[in-house]
């Protein structure tokens, strides 16, 4: 008679039925956060919009410097026009519509497949927010439109300057400026009246207007020269 074990071993499943259901439930719960992972891992790569850094530097440098010539030559008129900007509704609507169109264009280039099914909804949502702001939130709309453009221009600057970081340290000038614009854009979006207060202070007298204009001209020309020399 063979010696047989009193208790024969049996194969047990690795996961019980309840464990399996719990695992599936957990996967379903995490399905939506999974959509955010590609953008967290690659915050700029999927929707990168670039321009040659030399060209961009010349454009934004001259774009900052040239209007300041008016501030040096006619500081009183310049101050009056600057103080009117925060509550300039027609200009604000134009800026907001430009920012909305630019953002929707970036969204149309979104390459993350997890978001493909939501593009139509996002287009309607963000387009409606932009147009609705022009109709229902006209108080300081010029500042709000400028703030959104700050964020979009900053993204363009970061995208364009990233490839030059390993070539020249001067690219950090553009990157630093971009992140300062991000901070300014967020701050002005939350507190648009702050720009009104700052502009009133900066244009309180002709000396401040001239000094501020001279500083902006110097910095704008410096950035343009970087585009002509260091970023080629």
Q: 56 in a domain, yes or no?
A: yes
**Could you give the percent of the chain with pLDDT greater than 70?**
78
How far is the C-alpha of 196 from the C-alpha of 193, rounded, in Å?
Answer: 5
pLDDT digits (tens, 9 = 90+) for 13-67: 444 434 444 444 434 434 434 433 343 344 444 445 678 999 999 999 999 999 9
Of 48-57, 145-154, 159-168, where does mean pLDDT reach its minimum?
A: 48-57
**Each residue's pLDDT tens digit, 84-131:** 999 999 999 999 999 999 999 988 887 766 677 788 888 899 999 999
Q: What pTM, to 2 d.p., does this model score?
A: 0.76
What's the number of domains the chain is made of?
1
Residue 20 lies in a domain: no
Largest CA distance in the chain: 116
| C-alpha distance across the termini of the chain, in Å | 92
Q: Please check whether residue 124 lies inside any domain of the structure.
A: no
Q: Domain for residue 132, yes or no? A: no
Three-state DSSP at 93 gives helix
Count the neighbouring beta carbons within 10 Å of the beta carbon of residue 27: 10
Could you identify the residue written with the tokens 């970023």?
Answer: 231
DSSP-derived 3-state class of residue 138: coil
Q: Which of 62, 108, 78 is nearest to 220 (CA)?
A: 62
79, 176, 108, 93: which is closest to 139 by C-alpha? 93
Domain extent, residue 193, equals: 50-86+139-228
CA distance 149 to 58: 18
> Residue 168, exposed/middle/buried by CB under 10 A (0-12, 13-18, 19+)?
middle
Domain for residue 126, yes or no?
Answer: no
The Cα 195–Cα 192 span in angstroms is: 6
The answer to whether residue 8 sits within a structural domain is: no
Domain membership of residue 122 (yes or no) is no
Question: What is the rounded CA–CA span in Å between residue 91 and residue 87?
Answer: 9
- The count of other CB atoms within 10 Å of the CB of residue 220 is 19
Residue 25 inside a domain? The answer is: no
Which residues fall within 8 angstroms of residue 174, CB to CB, at 6 or more apart? 53, 56, 57, 157, 160, 161, 223, 226
pLDDT of residue 12: 45
């Amino acid at each position: 008679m063979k010696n047989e074990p009193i208790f024969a071993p049996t194969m047990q499943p690795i996961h019980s039925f309840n464990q399996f259901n719990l695992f599936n439930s957990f996967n379903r719960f995490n399905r939506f956060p999974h959509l955010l992972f590609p953008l967290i891992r690659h915050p700029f790569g999927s929707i990168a919009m670039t321009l040659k850094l030399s060209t961009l530097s010349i454009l934004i440098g001259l774009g900052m410097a040239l209007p300041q010539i008016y501030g040096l030559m006619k500081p009183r008129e310049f101050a009056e026009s600057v103080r009117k900007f925060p509550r300039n509704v027609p200009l604000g609507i134009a800026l907001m519509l430009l920012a909305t169109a630019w953002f929707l264009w970036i969204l149309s280039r979104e390459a993350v497949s997890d978001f493909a099914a939501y593009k139509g909804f996002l287009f309607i949502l963000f387009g409606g927010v932009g147009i609705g702001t022009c109709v229902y939130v006209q108080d300081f709309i010029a500042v709000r439109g400028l703030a959104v453009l700050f964020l979009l221009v900053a993204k363009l600057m970061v995208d364009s300057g990233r490839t030059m970081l390993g070539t020249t340290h001067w690219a950090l000038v553009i990157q630093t400026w971009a992140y300062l614009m991000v901070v300014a854009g967020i701050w002005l979006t939350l507190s648009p009246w702050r720009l009104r207060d700052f502009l009133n202070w900066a244009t309180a007298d002709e000396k401040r207007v001239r000094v501020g204009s001279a500083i902006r001209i110097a910095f704008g020309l410096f950035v343009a020269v970087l585009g002509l020399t260091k970023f080629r």
